[in-house]
Structure 1
Amino acid sequence: MAAAKPTPTDSLSFCLAQLTEAAGEGLGGGKDPAASETPLGRALLALRTRHVKATGGIERFRARGGLRPLLALLRRAAATGPAPLQAGAGSAPSPEEGAVVGPAPAPVPSAAASSPPARLRKTLDLALSILANCCTEGACRAEVRRLGGIFALVTILQCVKTDSIQNRTARALGNLAMEPESCGDIHSAGAVPLLVESLSACQDSQCRQSVVRALRNLADSPQHRLALAQKGAVRPLAELLAAAPDPALTLALVRALQELSRGCSRACAEQLSLGGGLGPLVGLAAHPKRAVREAAILTLANLCAQGLVRPALGNAGGVEVLLGELRRRRGPGGTGPAPQQPLVRAVCLLCREAINRARLREAGGLELLMALLRDPRASPWHPRVVAALVGFLYDAGALSRLQALGLVPLLAAQLCGEAGEEEEEGREAASWDFPEERTPERAEAGSFRSLRSWLISEGYAAGPGDISPDWSPEHCPTPEPPEPCSLAPGTPVPQPPRPLRTPERGAAASEEPWGREGPALLLLSRFSQAPDPSSALVTGPALCGLLAYVTGAPGPPSPRALRILARLTCNPACLEAFVLSYGAALLRAWLVLGVAPDDWPVPRARPPRRSQHRELGEMLLQNLTVQAESPFGVGALTHLLLSGSPEDRVACALTLPFICRKPSLWRRLLLDQGGLRLLLGALTRPAPHPLFHFFAADSLACLQALLSPTVAAVTPVLSPTTPEDPGPSSRCLYEPLLGPSPSPAPDLHFLLDSGLRLPAQRAASAEASPFFRALLAGSFVEAQMDLVPLRGLSPGAARPVLHHLHGCRGCGATLQPVPPVGQPLLGSEAEEALEAASRFLLPSLEEELEDAVGRIHLGPQSDPESVGEVFRLGRPRLTIHCARWTLGPGQCPRKRALALVGLVETAGQEAGALVEALLAVVMGAE
């Protein structure tokens, strides 16, 4: 087959020449465009079908300067006058409509006026199609904007109402709007009202799709989206969607609504609701096409930012749709955290209206919100979720369900967690259960007065002056009324320190601080007001969260947190829980002694403990004391200690010294009924609490102070608890035997394994010990020897023995074999000397050596490791010394607990001696 004969339009140069000639540039504008209409039409058709669509064709067209004559041609068409073409798509306009192309601003030539309107319309269609295709490339968009093409397109949109031309003009504007600079120029040129008008007037689906796309691209910023909504662009879209259009237009509409509803404004929500778009959007959430489905769901999520539309959205089924989609995205094979964010925000906003909360609860939303709180990947949203749950504050059924799902420990963990990076919601996102009332004089309507009285009755406000009609419970809650403490009649209620004191109610009460912990504290306070909140709030995680917040807050903590703790400690129903959960011991350790669970056993760098914390801890323990010493408390504690499980009995015995001050009570429970032995026996078993040994050491020290209050009162802080220091050093009676001229002369020498000979007096040695009396004055051969061997004795260990045999007491010889602090005692000369004193039947020397070891290794500045070294010697008196050092009233609580841990670990399973020593020290019977 022969190749097709080339035509002039195959040349880009020819086409550009025709375009330039028609635009009136190459010929000086004097040629009649109607005369060259047929060559121009062929050139435009070739440009659209071949040259522009070819690879790199748009760039070549721009580089050859084709945009300038093309825009000039369109500009001439736009300048034909205000009389627009009114024909529909495919219809021929009447002759009096005027020519489409013609020089501007000169009158339309007669030749053009007599040309067939259909041909002129076709020319304009081709030129607009070429321009729209060129505007898909970034450089062409910039060139069109520089050449002023946007104004020409807006003029054509205004003047020519033919569907095909409106379609191509909207397409070109939509492509230009893909760049922010062009988008702003299109808005400034007034294109939005014309596009909205075209959307309502045209009947062609493709034209509508182009207009919808242009509106979507024009919504590129919050300012432009607001402008579109204010100019009425949303309602026609919603009305078209409600009319069930074809699938292609449906997709374009939901995508445009999704973009226009981002950061949803009030105008957008109102127009979409008035246009009947909520129901269709909810229906499209189940569309088989993924793009339609996701766009509809995200539009519904965006609408939740406006409180005025949320009730209607819930009535249309939006709550179930959003919950289902969020559940799907969080399930197996779902998405990551980022795509879940708008749905989480929407679900949380839906919790602000009672009608939607009921739907959410019935649809399993509480479980979903709890799953979010447990998910560490969702931690940025946790503050938002907790704030949403505040909406269920007075829903008893929902609160019970949330408590059963484990909300309380999660709330406690939120008190000191990292703050989420959620944006602040505007006023328009507030609950629509109490819509703001717009009156010219800002008068207080009856509904506001009813709301204000309810807020005062519920404790959100102290008086009428605290609330204005702009008040919102999400932003400025005021203190709740304090709960009366359940104290015994006539018992004074201890007050917390001034910086931590609960604010007094009254007209002058200051507003309670409401930080990121405010919602969590409000929910915890609501839980604490239950008749028996012990199972939820008096637990280790909940108490740790509250105490971590109270002690770790950068400023004064919220008085609500202090009221929660006071309410719990004053509730008799919580007494048993405080005992079994080691809550009372935790209060004392954390607030009074300044040792938190994460400070044990290695302390962490944290701000110094304030005196207010100590006062608060003492107040809370005093509240527990009031409950424990009441008839109910005595019965509960007695039952726990006598009939509880082994773990419960140990917890009761450990807690009693902290909360019982009546001697008759703690003596009966701890001493007569074996509570103290239970506690001591539990030291050798696995610890039931991370701070158990710390608690136990503190409890034993407190009990010792109760048994011997005078000793505790007179013992200075960090005073030595070792045996009494001896008086002034006595004169040494053995040193004269060691000099060059001994006096008296020795009549005996002891031979050590090292070959060293030590002088001695036979009579003094025999008189000092039954062992040496039998050895030196009895029937043994050594009685006849002048050089008596002493086996297994080093020189350092032998010297205190020889000094003691010759009557030295307190001369310092017993201190010489004791190694300094930091060196092991096992295997030292001190241990060897102790064994020798025992072997040679020298009990007083043993005591003196043990006192020397205690004086050096159990002094005021000794550390717990030294206590362990002394205990390893395994000597009963030294074990007593170790126990006395550990439980000394002036001892540092941390060192005391570390020493007790070391003693227990060293004793292992053979802890009987340690238990008896601790018991003797506590009872003062050592």
Structure 2
Amino acid sequence: MATAKPTPTDSLSFCLAQLTAAAGEGLGGGKDTATNETSLGRVLLALRTRHIKAAGGIERFRARGGLRPLLALLRRAAAAGPAPFQAGPGSAPSAESATSDGSAPSSGPAPSAAAPSPPARLRKTLDLALSILANCCTNGACRAEVRRLGGILPLVTILQCVKTDSIQNRTARALGNLAMEPESCGDIHSAGAVPLLVESLTASQDSDCLQSVVRALRNLADSPQHRLALSQQGAVRPLAELLAAAPDSALTLALVRALLELSRGCSRACAEQLSLGGGLSPLVSLASHPKRAVREATILILANLCAQGLVRPALGNAGGVEVLLSELQRRRGPNGTSPASQQPLVRAVCLLCREAINRARLRDAGGLELLMGLLRDPRANSWHPRVVAALVGFLYDTGALGRLQALGLVPLLAGQLCGEAGDEEEEGREAASWDFPEERTPERPEAGSFRSLRSWLISEGYAAGPGDISPDWSPERCPPPESAEPTSPSPGPTSLRTPRALPTPGRSPSTPEEPWGREGPALLLLSRFSQAPDPSGALVTSPALCGLLAYVTGAPGPPNPRALRILTRLTCNPACLEAFVRSYGAALLRAWLVLGVSPDDWPAPRARPTRRSQHRELGEMLLQNLTVQAESPFGVGALTHLLLSGSPEDRVACALTLPFICRKPSLWRRLLLDQGGLRLLLAALTRPVPHPLFFFFAADSLSCLQGLMSPTANPALPPAMPCELDPPSPCLYEPLLGPAPIPTPDLHFLLDSGLQLPAQRAASATASPFFRALLAGSFAEAQMDLVPLRGLSPSAAWPVLHHLHGCRGCGAALGPVPPPGQPLLGSEAEEALEAAGRFLLPDLEEELEEAVGRVHLGPQGGPESVGEVFRLGRPRLTAHCARWTLGPGQCPRKRASALVGLVAAAGEEAGPLTDALLAVVMGAELGGRGPSLDC
């Protein structure tokens, strides 16, 4: 088979030489125009089909200097037309680039009716030259050189002068490829290409040309400034109109990709044009497109549009709420996507909550459940502030609030008060609710809509007069009115401060007296719940109260006054009294605010804020509110019912709470003493604890009750152990131990260790009946000079010998007592106590017990020693332990820790402990003069 004969155009050097010559002569500049055009056409065709498309061909063409003559050729062609349109000052370069594959289908010549068609040969030459340049501009180095050689302005001129679809197509394709470089993108904007591309959108009917123009506009939207410039120059509306015309699938994909870029950080102009162009309904329809790329791009466009309040109602009417909600539910499902892909949809759904019409659609489509799921998801914690702020939109939707409360919103809101702030960006002014559009020019006379709104606000009592509301006010930005200090659960007259803008989470407050902060939306919703006739089921629970108290005590600055009003409102509501009792709420208020101990702060303490005096005052005020409710006829009946007819848990909680909220002796005596509340509380100490702070509450409650029973006790003095301040007495046994004992001992006691201890028979025999029978009776020991004492160590025998010889308080009893921190069970102190009982020495037993109490329950001892002392099982020591635990002036932490040790030491045998605590509380331990307990 014969090989094709080579032609001159097979050589790149030949083609470049011909291109250079043609660029120098100009189009149509030679003597034989037809010959020149035909020769140039063959050269350009060879460059495009052979050299440029070959592997590495674009780079070789650039390296051999092909771009300069090619641009010169286009520049001469552009010079034949009018000067290009210059863009206004709004087009500025940017620093962000878009990406594209750089390819677009070519199209044959199709004369446009908008302008006279150029000659066929000239049109073909331009087609080929523009095609070569567009292909070269897919290479980064070529794009940079084209910009350096000033190749952008000729392209814009050609776009303006030659209205043929094929040339418009290839010019737009070249500009789109050049726009992939940020510097070139800015130059294209400055050269005024955008209005020309927009004109091509409306003038052309060719799908390929439209795709190239749409792609060029998409690549030109590489930064917020450029996106805004495109919107302001009318680039969005023709795209929306093309989309509404139901184009072919390729053009549809190009349109949604362009609209996605233009709608990023959606500007007001973009949203207005897209809506005016009729693009909302087609976008909602395309959300179910079979092609994934179209479907996902469309959903993101709808999400971006939600940033503009003016378009959200229309978007909801078109079905956008259901589309976005269902897509977010799908992405959060078991086979869903990553949190990053959910973020724009979460933002969009939250923004849709700002208009009443969209809130109704969202509620009916299961949006409340979705938002609650987001609040429960720890992986979505960065979105929690945004979600809570969105739920504020349902503030006056009674049905939605009831549903949210049933779904568990209140504890989640309480947990949000002290959570970490999310990284969500602040919303612009144009994202505000469109239920009440902003007045753009406050200086002009008030519009009728504003006057009507203001009249309604005044008539409903939300404003005192016309001066309270400015035209810049909107209901979304004004918190609901609250009474500062409610005194009853029934709603009373409310006062409204001058309306102010509620900032988004993290923004500084607009008024110094009412800080907003990131906790503002959560507090606003909690305040709304607290204004219900009976908010106890939601707010007077341990999680809700813990959240509120953690915020009040842990806020870095002064807490929001709304949190204090919520607590005040709850404690002043009679309907909440039983809930405060059942949930240990009153005990929690006292522990956290008055005593400074929270559940996280027990048993190990942690750093606390420095505003302790303010917290104490708040706690005492709230407890006083509860006291007013408890001592009212309704409160007395409620507490009596709880104590007598409540569940076992309720009865214990009522008995524990009564000392905190009852100050009338007739009331607490009847409930705690006559009706057995105190014994219920003591019996509950050995059962499983119903609250993390139960032992702290119980110790504090018993101490408070003791103070009520003995109001004259001085709480400033710590409990003193017996004989702690008595001076030591002289020792009567030491003279027997020297080398010349006086008097001479007539008896020695032999210990198991072989140690012999001197003694006086007469003194020992008169010390106790045991030794009288042993030493002066008919036993053999009465005739022995060396009497054995079995089962007694030297340390344990030491206080016994001292006692036999008349020593009382000489300090010998302290000898066998180990220091604090060492166990008493099995110690020599226990051995000495057992010996004192065996030898019938009750005074020695008492002295040894006092010695143990002095060492382990004195200044050197601590709460951990109380259980050790109790384990000895001595009644007097048990009483000392109870008195140490409940004594006035004792540290609340030590008191509670000691009670924990006592309960652990008592085990299943709780009778002695209960009796000892009961005796201390009743005052029977102090001389037995306490009131009787008849139950």
**Band of TM-score, shorter chain:** over 0.9
Q: Quote the Cα distance in structure 2 between the aligned partners of 1:93 and 1:206.
A: 14
1:891 aligns with 2:890: yes
Q: Quote the Cα distance in structure 1 between the aligned partners of 2:180 and 2:368.
A: 42
CA deviation map 1:164-188 (0-9, x unaligned): 0000000011111111111111000
Q: Give the one of 280, 283, 293 matched to 2:282.
A: 280
Look up the match of 1:497: none
Change in CA separation of 1:33 and 1:840 when aligned onto 2, cut-off 3 Å: farther
CA deviation map 1:569-619 (0-9, x unaligned): 010110010011110010000000000110111112232342111000000
Q: Is 2:111–2:117's contact at 8 Å kept on the other side of the alignment?
A: no
Look up the match of 2:325: 323
Q: CA deviation at 1:93?
A: 9.2
Look up the match of 1:382: 384
2:763 partner amino acid: A
**Secondary structure of 2:750's partner?**
strand
Q: CA deviation at 1:22?
A: 1.2
1:701 partner amino acid: S
Look up the match of 2:364: 362
Q: CA deviation at 1:779?
A: 1.3
Which runs of structure 2 are paired with 1:18-97 in the superposition (5 Å)? 18-24=18-24, 34-82=34-82, 90-91=109-110
2:850 partner amino acid: D
Look up the match of 1:843: 842
- Percent of residue pairs bearing the same amino acid type: 87
Q: Quote the Cα distance in structure 2 between the aligned partners of 1:408 and 1:214.
A: 51
Q: Quote the Cα distance in structure 2 between the aligned partners of 1:222 and 1:537.
A: 45
Q: Quote the Cα distance in structure 2 between the aligned partners of 1:277 and 1:572.
A: 56
Look up the match of 1:110: none
Q: CA deviation at 1:76?
A: 0.9
Look up the match of 1:800: 799
Q: Quote the Cα distance in structure 2 between the aligned partners of 1:239 and 1:26.
A: 41
Look up the match of 1:903: 902
For structure 2, the 5+ residue unaligned runs are 85-106, 501-510, 926-935
Which runs of structure 2 are paired with 1:585-624 in the superposition (5 Å)? 585-624=587-626
CA deviation map 1:753-794 (0-9, x unaligned): 121111111111111111111111111111110000111111
Look up the match of 2:355: 353
Which runs of structure 2 are paired with 1:96-107 in the superposition (5 Å)? none
**Secondary structure of 2:24's partner?**
coil
Q: Quote the Cα distance in structure 2 between the aligned partners of 1:849 and 1:545.
A: 50
Q: CA deviation at 1:481?
A: 2.9
Q: Quote the Cα distance in structure 2 between the aligned partners of 1:162 and 1:391.
A: 54
Q: Quote the Cα distance in structure 2 between the aligned partners of 1:760 and 1:584.
A: 63
Q: Quote the Cα distance in structure 2 between the aligned partners of 1:538 and 1:521.
A: 15
Q: Is 1:641–1:649's contact at 8 Å kept on the other side of the alignment?
A: yes
Q: Is 1:479–1:512's contact at 8 Å kept on the other side of the alignment?
A: no
**Secondary structure of 1:307's partner?**
coil
Q: Is 1:589–1:596's contact at 8 Å kept on the other side of the alignment?
A: yes
**Secondary structure of 1:148's partner?**
coil
Look up the match of 2:772: 773
Q: Quote the Cα distance in structure 1 between the aligned partners of 2:171 and 2:479.
A: 54
Look up the match of 2:879: 880
RMSD across aligned positions (CA): 2.4
1:64 partner amino acid: R
Look up the match of 1:205: 207
Q: Quote the Cα distance in structure 2 between the aligned partners of 1:25 and 1:804.
A: 135
Change in CA separation of 1:449 and 1:736 when aligned onto 2, cut-off 3 Å: farther
Q: Is 2:156–2:191's contact at 8 Å kept on the other side of the alignment?
A: yes
* TM-score, normalization by structure 2: 0.92
Q: Is 2:442–2:471's contact at 8 Å kept on the other side of the alignment?
A: no
Q: Quote the Cα distance in structure 1 between the aligned partners of 2:914 and 2:840.
A: 27
Q: Quote the Cα distance in structure 1 between the aligned partners of 2:432 and 2:458.
A: 20
Q: Is 1:263–1:302's contact at 8 Å kept on the other side of the alignment?
A: yes
Look up the match of 2:565: 563
Q: Is 1:748–1:759's contact at 8 Å kept on the other side of the alignment?
A: yes
Q: Quote the Cα distance in structure 1 between the aligned partners of 2:519 and 2:111.
A: 71
Segment of structure 1 superposing worse, 843-852 or 735-744: 735-744
2:137 partner amino acid: C
**Secondary structure of 1:368's partner?**
helix
1:845 partner amino acid: L
Q: Quote the Cα distance in structure 2 between the aligned partners of 1:692 and 1:632.
A: 27
Q: Is 1:459–1:480's contact at 8 Å kept on the other side of the alignment?
A: no
Q: Quote the Cα distance in structure 2 between the aligned partners of 1:373 and 1:301.
A: 20
Change in CA separation of 1:32 and 1:473 when aligned onto 2, cut-off 3 Å: farther
Look up the match of 2:400: 398
Look up the match of 1:758: 757
Q: CA deviation at 1:3?
A: 3.4
Q: CA deviation at 1:446?
A: 3.9
Look up the match of 1:830: 829
Q: Is 1:320–1:363's contact at 8 Å kept on the other side of the alignment?
A: yes
Which runs of structure 2 are paired with 1:490-529 in the superposition (5 Å)? 511-529=513-531
Q: Is 1:698–1:897's contact at 8 Å kept on the other side of the alignment?
A: yes
Q: CA deviation at 1:669?
A: 1.1
1:290 aligns with 2:289: no
1:631 partner amino acid: P
Q: CA deviation at 1:528?
A: 0.3
Look up the match of 2:659: 657
Look up the match of 1:107: none
How many residues align? The count is 889
Q: Quote the Cα distance in structure 1 between the aligned partners of 2:164 and 2:499.
A: 70
2:735 partner amino acid: P
Q: Is 2:112–2:163's contact at 8 Å kept on the other side of the alignment?
A: no
Look up the match of 1:162: 164
CA deviation map 1:431-477 (0-9, x unaligned): 11111234573333343244345556778767654532222455564
Look up the match of 1:470: 472
Q: CA deviation at 1:35?
A: 3.5
Q: Quote the Cα distance in structure 2 between the aligned partners of 1:465 and 1:439.
A: 18
Q: Quote the Cα distance in structure 2 between the aligned partners of 1:531 and 1:185.
A: 66
**Secondary structure of 1:758's partner?**
strand
Change in CA separation of 1:507 and 1:860 when aligned onto 2, cut-off 3 Å: farther
Which runs of structure 2 are paired with 1:393-472 in the superposition (5 Å)? 393-439=395-441, 441-452=443-454, 464-472=466-474
Q: Is 1:479–1:560's contact at 8 Å kept on the other side of the alignment?
A: no
Q: Is 2:686–2:908's contact at 8 Å kept on the other side of the alignment?
A: yes
Q: Is 2:483–2:495's contact at 8 Å kept on the other side of the alignment?
A: no
Look up the match of 1:492: none
2:789 partner amino acid: L
Q: Give the one of 150, 153, 156 matched to 1:151.
A: 153
1:38 partner amino acid: T
Look up the match of 1:575: 577
**Secondary structure of 1:283's partner?**
helix
CA deviation map 1:724-747 (0-9, x unaligned): 425322221111111111111111
Q: Is 1:477–1:514's contact at 8 Å kept on the other side of the alignment?
A: no
Q: CA deviation at 1:910?
A: 1.9
Q: Is 2:27–2:77's contact at 8 Å kept on the other side of the alignment?
A: no
Q: Is 2:48–2:128's contact at 8 Å kept on the other side of the alignment?
A: yes
1:518 partner amino acid: G
Segment of structure 1 superposing worse, 198-207 or 816-825: 816-825
For structure 1, the 5+ residue unaligned runs are 100-116, 489-501
Q: Is 1:487–1:627's contact at 8 Å kept on the other side of the alignment?
A: no
CA deviation map 1:212-258 (0-9, x unaligned): 01111111111111110110001101111111111111111111111
**Secondary structure of 1:789's partner?**
strand
* TM-score, normalization by structure 1: 0.93
Q: Is 1:459–1:481's contact at 8 Å kept on the other side of the alignment?
A: no
Look up the match of 1:342: 344
Q: Is 1:157–1:166's contact at 8 Å kept on the other side of the alignment?
A: yes
**Secondary structure of 2:787's partner?**
strand
Q: Quote the Cα distance in structure 2 between the aligned partners of 1:861 and 1:615.
A: 33
CA deviation map 1:34-91 (0-9, x unaligned): 533222212211221222122221111111111111111111111112399xxx9635
1:533 aligns with 2:535: yes
Q: Quote the Cα distance in structure 2 between the aligned partners of 1:606 and 1:149.
A: 69
Change in CA separation of 1:161 and 1:39 when aligned onto 2, cut-off 3 Å: same
1:121 partner amino acid: R
Q: Is 1:463–1:507's contact at 8 Å kept on the other side of the alignment?
A: no
**Secondary structure of 2:239's partner?**
helix
Q: CA deviation at 1:709?
A: 1.0
Q: Quote the Cα distance in structure 1 between the aligned partners of 2:478 and 2:630.
A: 39
Q: Quote the Cα distance in structure 2 between the aligned partners of 1:531 and 1:814.
A: 66
Which runs of structure 2 are paired with 1:306-321 in the superposition (5 Å)? 306-321=308-323
Q: Give the one of 184, 187, 190 matched to 1:188.
A: 190
Look up the match of 1:673: 675
**Secondary structure of 1:305's partner?**
coil
Q: Quote the Cα distance in structure 2 between the aligned partners of 1:168 and 1:71.
A: 14
